[in-house]
Amino acid sequence: TRTSLYLLQSGLVPCENTGKQTRCYKIAKADVAAYLRRRLAEPAYYTPPSGWYKNYPAHKPPAFSLNGTLLLTDAVRQRIRRWYERLLARQPDVLDAHQIARVTGYASRTVSRWCIEGRLKSFPYQHTYKVPKEWLLEFLTSKDYNSITRKSKEHYAMIAAVASKPRKPRKKP
């Protein structure tokens, strides 16, 4: 069970988290087949990091985190913000928890919990939480959001995109 949680939460096996308490992951059959084939060829790729099986507070985060690949400087925050602005360009100006969940890859219950806890600035509207794009962008570029240990597949995709920023060509003398 712990190994499967590692594979799903780290994004090594693509899945969708439905937000339920049990049986919360949906995995496509093609993804399972691809995982099984690759595991036969490269078993070390799917091995959890050292310390994974220890008790919860002591275990290491899966795969990699933003802290390990990028320092959250002002320049990095701007790149993250531009990346999310492009992603949110076709979304409405005010989003609900379900729309934010599709963008971030986290369950809508998790997004609602962020709103209830005050981590994500929002306002209640007809038994749901509404978040203007600007408030969402502030949260997505915050240290709080980027220090989440169990990142979603979409969160890892953002890190990879921001980390592999194309460099400007040097001017020849």
Does position 7 have pLDDT exceeding 80, yes or no? Answer: yes
Q: Once rounded to an integer, what is the mean pLDDT over residues 113-117?
A: 89
Q: What is the pLDDT of residues 76-111, one digit of tens each?
A: 888 888 888 888 888 888 999 899 988 888 888 998
Q: Where are the beta strands (DSSP E) in 12-122?
A: 16-17, 25-26, 94-96
Three-class SS of residue 95?
A: strand
Q: Which residue has the higher pLDDT, 148 or 70?
A: 148
Helix, strand, coil content of the chain in percent (nearest 5): 50, 10, 40
pLDDT digits (tens, 9 = 90+) for 23-76: 888 889 998 898 888 888 888 788 877 666 665 444 445 444 444 445 677 788
39/111 Cα distance (integer angstroms): 33
Q: Model's pTM, two decimal places?
A: 0.55
Q: Provide the pLDDT for residue 30.
A: 92
Distances from the Cα of 100 to the Cα of 28, 109, 112, angstroms: 22, 11, 10
E strand segments, 23-66? 25-26
Q: For residues 135 and 21, which has the higher predicted lDDT (pLDDT)?
A: 135
